[in-house]
Amino acid sequence: MPIHEDIEAYNAAQLARDQCICNALAETIDRHLKGAECKIWHRHPVWFLDGNPIVGYSKLKDCIRLLFWSGQSFDEPGLAVEGSFKAAEARYTSEDEIRVGDLKRWLKKAIEIQWDYKNIVKRKGKLERLK
């Protein structure tokens, strides 16, 4: 399956080293997150299931950050706490740092373990677990 054209354009706008990381992440996410909607959201590639953000990545000053919105609940090594909700991240400075087995496992958990970010404003900042 080809990468969504907006995400392809985002990746192409990165430096060569970061393009490789972004393309590898996008291809793996697309392959293992079947049925997800993907788009540029808040200027970064993000994948959604039923309107709920699941995973995305963004360019930081010195790396590409992979973010799982419900990642703190995965109980997985390799993911670090990010923010005050349930998100967790991994950071990459080269494509060879991406452990595809870990990424596939995290994506599987991202489908199974979801917090309802879609309705966080309606619930005044309170997250509820889905599924």
Q: Which residue has the higher pLDDT, 56 or 3?
A: 56
* % of the chain exceeding 90 in pLDDT: 81
Q: Across the chain, what does the average pLDDT equal?
A: 93
pLDDT at site 1? 57
Domain, as residue range, for 61 = 5-130
Which CATH number covers residue 17?
3.90.1150.200
pLDDT of residue 2: 67
Query: Does residue 84 carry a pLDDT above 90?
Result: no
| pLDDT value of residue 8 | 96
Q: Could you tell me which of 50, 121, 2, 74 has the C-alpha nearest to residue 66?
A: 74
- Which residues neighbour 31 within 8 Å (Cβ) at sequence distance 6 or greater? 1
Which residues pair with residue 44 across a beta bridge?
41
pLDDT value for 79: 98
Q: Give dist(CA 49, CA 36) in Å, integer.
A: 5
3-class SS of residue 120: coil
Q: Distance of CA 97 to CAs 14, 80, 115, 129, 131, Å?
A: 18, 15, 28, 31, 32
Domain total in the chain = 1
Residues β-bridged to residue 115? 129
pLDDT confidence of residue 127: 84
Pairwise CA distance, residues 109 & 121, whole Å: 24
Residue 52 is given by DSSP the state: E
Question: What was the pLDDT predicted at 69?
Answer: 97
Q: Other C-beta atoms within 10 Å of 99: how many?
A: 12
pTM, entire model: 0.92
Q: For residue 37, what are its two tokens?
A: 């909607």
Residue 115 scores a pLDDT above 80: yes
| pLDDT digits 0-9 by tens, 9-65 | 999 999 999 999 999 999 999 999 988 999 999 999 999 999 999 999 999 999 999
